């Protein structure tokens, strides 16, 4: 039985790696071949310089993803198949740790190992690739402060959450996964509520959008849409990166947050069209649907975890002498991705559908389809997004339709 379990796991793990790598390689070869051309419908709207830089950025990121993906997969295989986890468990037991203490210590060591492993990749991405293309504005000081705050926050939230999770698993009987689900849902709601007020300000500054034409236009639009909110804020995103965006923070009455980079570079019409798109996600209930879908997925995940945790051959297959809650969680977290990876295209498809709907909503609300189009072209250019994604790659991974697909759909909506 244990051999069969290992074989099924390896099969899915290698299949995931093969599919992911093949998609990346197909995409990169496609981009290397035609990436420097401006697509015909974008002639005059995108400069040749932008097209060339987009190609170079896509290639640089993609090649790095090939390397980091290969090393990351090797690392996970080594952790799972080398007896490292059972050895760690034995060490903790020898230290006299049991119950909740062992659960938390085991997962903390594992997270620390993954954190350390990922560090050089994150550094390279920020200070070499993003730097080279002029996106990085993070200084070493900001970076180190981010790491320290992230670690502090991880400990302050993760440790109590770990103890609570163990208490639910070990102390609430056969239906522990339902109890834990209820608890985690509550935590998530509280976090959504606390995040804008307590956590986000640790990393960024938020100031009210100054009075003026932009503010008046956006407020009038939010009123017209009946969009309840806690006001308009500008976030100092330029402290870390030159990428620009707009988003909401909060649950029922969210704050509308514009990146300072967006405010600087968009016309009033463009910013209004972008914001109307975001309002569309709320009014069309995408945010609510995604939240429910996420809850359903975590309920399903916890149920599967409860079955696996009660199945001793799984633990034997990965070298554990006996089942334990922390081993179950670790195996689930490290090995589960190989199975859920194949659901990714479904999630991407649903997300793209929502993006089309939000674009149509923006056309109706802001009545500035041209500005929406030019805002997307600007965003695409500023972010150096790939102008020539391979269709297989974009079908699998893209949560947004490609620039060309969106522009065509916006034109169709404006005609209708
Ligand atoms: Zn969107």
Q: Calculate the CA 273 to chain-centre distance.
A: 24
Structure tokens at 397: 């991974």
Residue 264 annotated to the active site? no
Q: How far is the CA of 267 from the centre of ligand 1 (A)?
A: 19
d(CA 206, CA 198): 12
Q: Which of 89, 269, 278, 355 is catalytic?
A: 278
Number of other CB atoms surrounding residue 308 within 10 Å: 17
d(CA 317, CA 327): 12
d(CA 183, CA 186): 5
Angle, vertex CA 63, rays to CA 60 and CA 65, nearest 5 = 105
Question: What is the full DSSP assignment across 93-127?
Answer: HHTT--HHHHHHHHHHHHHHHHHHHHHHHHHHIII
Residue 284 annotated to the active site? no
User: How many helices, marked H, and strands, marked E, lie in the chain?
Assistant: 19, 4
Q: How far is the CA of 354 from the centre of ligand 1 (A)?
A: 7
Q: How far is the CA of 245 from the centre of ligand 1 (A)?
A: 10
Structure tokens at 317: 């297959």
Q: How far is the CA of 320 from the centre of ligand 1 (A)?
A: 45
Span 250-280, pLDDT tens digits: 777 888 899 998 888 899 999 999 999 999 9
Closest to 50 in 3D by CA, of 65, 71, 35, 30: 35
Structure tokens at 113: 């190992």
Q: Which residues contact 387 (CB under 8 A, 6 or more apart)?
A: 35, 38, 39, 42, 46, 51, 54, 55, 380, 403
d(CA 252, CA 193): 9
d(CA 390, CA 397): 11
Q: How far is the CA of 365 from the centre of ligand 1 (A)?
A: 15
The pLDDT, as a whole number, for residue 198 is 84
The pLDDT, as a whole number, for residue 404 is 94
Can you give the length of the chain in residues? 416
Q: How far is the CA of 271 from the centre of ligand 1 (A)?
A: 14
Q: How far is the CA of 355 from the centre of ligand 1 (A)?
A: 5
Strands (E), 306-390: none
- Read off the pTM: 0.88
Query: How many Cα atoms sit within 13 Å of 376 on the Cβ side?
Result: 27
* Structural contact between residues 404 and 59, judged by C-beta atoms closer than 8 angstroms: no
* Structural contact between residues 110 and 326, judged by C-beta atoms closer than 8 angstroms: no
Q: Which of 48, 359, 382, 405 is catalytic?
A: 359
Q: CB-based burial of residue 219 (10 Å sphere; 0-12 exposed, 13-18 middle, 19+ buried)?
A: middle
Beta bridge mates, 257: 233, 247
Place of tokens 């034995």: 90
* Phi, psi of 402, deg, nearest 5: -70, 165
Closest to 278 in 3D by CA, of 295, 255, 299: 255
d(CA 44, CA 38): 9
State the sign of the Cα–Cα–Cα–Cα dihedral 86, 89, 95, 96. Answer: negative
Question: What is the full DSSP assignment across 239-303?
Answer: GTBS---EEEESSSSPEEEEEHHHHHHS-HHHHHHHHHHHHHHHHTTHHHHHHHHHHHHHHHHHH
In tens digits, what is the pLDDT along the chain, a chain of 416 residues? 889 999 999 999 999 999 999 999 999 999 999 888 899 889 989 999 999 999 999 999 999 999 999 999 999 999 999 999 999 999 999 999 989 999 999 999 999 999 999 999 999 998 999 999 988 888 888 889 988 998 998 999 999 999 999 999 999 999 999 999 999 999 988 888 888 888 888 889 999 999 999 999 999 999 999 988 889 999 998 877 777 778 888 777 888 899 998 888 899 999 999 999 999 998 999 988 998 999 999 999 999 999 999 999 999 999 999 999 999 999 999 999 999 999 999 999 999 999 999 999 999 999 999 999 999 999 898 889 999 999 999 999 999 999 999 999 999 999 98
Q: Calculate the CA 246 to chain-centre distance.
A: 16
Q: How far is the CA of 358 from the centre of ligand 1 (A)?
A: 6
Q: How far is the CA of 76 from the centre of ligand 1 (A)?
A: 33
d(CA 400, CA 349): 9
């Amino acid at each position: 039985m244990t051999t069969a379990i290992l074989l099924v796991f390896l099969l899915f793990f290698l299949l995931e790696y093969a599919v992911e790598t093949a998609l990346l390689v197909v995409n990169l070869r496609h981009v290397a071949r035609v990436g420097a051309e401006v697509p015909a419908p974008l002639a005059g709207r995108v400069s040749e310089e932008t097209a060339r830089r987009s190609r170079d950025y896509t290639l640089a990121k993609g090649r790095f993803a090939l390397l980091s993906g290969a090393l990351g997969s090797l690392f996970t295989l080594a952790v799972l198949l080398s007896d490292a986890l059972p050895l760690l468990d034995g060490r903790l037991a020898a230290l006299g740790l049991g119950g909740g203490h062992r659960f938390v210590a085991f997962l903390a060591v594992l997270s620390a190992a993954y954190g350390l492993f990922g560090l050089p990749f994150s550094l390279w991405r920020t200070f070499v690739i993003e730097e080279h293309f002029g996106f990085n504005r993070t200084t070493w000081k900001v970076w180190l402060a981010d790491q320290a705050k992230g670690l502090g926050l991880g400990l302050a939230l993760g440790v109590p959450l770990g103890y609570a999770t163990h208490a639910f698993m070990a102390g609430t009987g056969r239906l522990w996964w339902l109890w834990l689900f209820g608890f985690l849902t509550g935590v998530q709601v509280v976090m959504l509520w606390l995040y804008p007020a307590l956590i986000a300000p640790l990393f960024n500054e938020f100031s009210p959008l100054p009075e003026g034409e932009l503010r008046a236009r956006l407020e009038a639009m939010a009123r017209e849409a009946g969009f309840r909110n806690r006001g308009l804020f500008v976030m100092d995103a330029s402290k870390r990166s030159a990428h620009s965006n707009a988003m909401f923070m909060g649950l029922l009455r969210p704050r509308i947050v514009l990146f300072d980079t967006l405010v600087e570079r968009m016309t009033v019409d463009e910013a209004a069209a972008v914001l109307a798109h975001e309002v569309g996600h709320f009014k069309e209930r995408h945010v609510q649907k995604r939240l429910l879908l996420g809850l359903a997925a975590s309920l399903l995940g916890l149920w599967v975890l409860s079955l696996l945790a009660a199945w001793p051959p799984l633990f034997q297959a990965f070298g554990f002498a006996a089942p334990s809650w922390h081993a179950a969680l670790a195996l689930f977290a490290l090995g589960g991705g190989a199975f859920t990876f194949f659901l990714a295209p479904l999630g991407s498809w649903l997300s793209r559908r929502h993006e089309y709907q939000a674009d149509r909503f923006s056309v109706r609300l802001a009545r500035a389809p041209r500005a929406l189009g030019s805002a997307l072209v600007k965003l695409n250019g500023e972010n150096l997004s790939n102008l020539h994604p391979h269709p297989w790659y974009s079908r699998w991974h893209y949560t947004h339709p490609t620039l060309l697909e969106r522009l065509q759909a916006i034109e169709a909506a404006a005609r209708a």
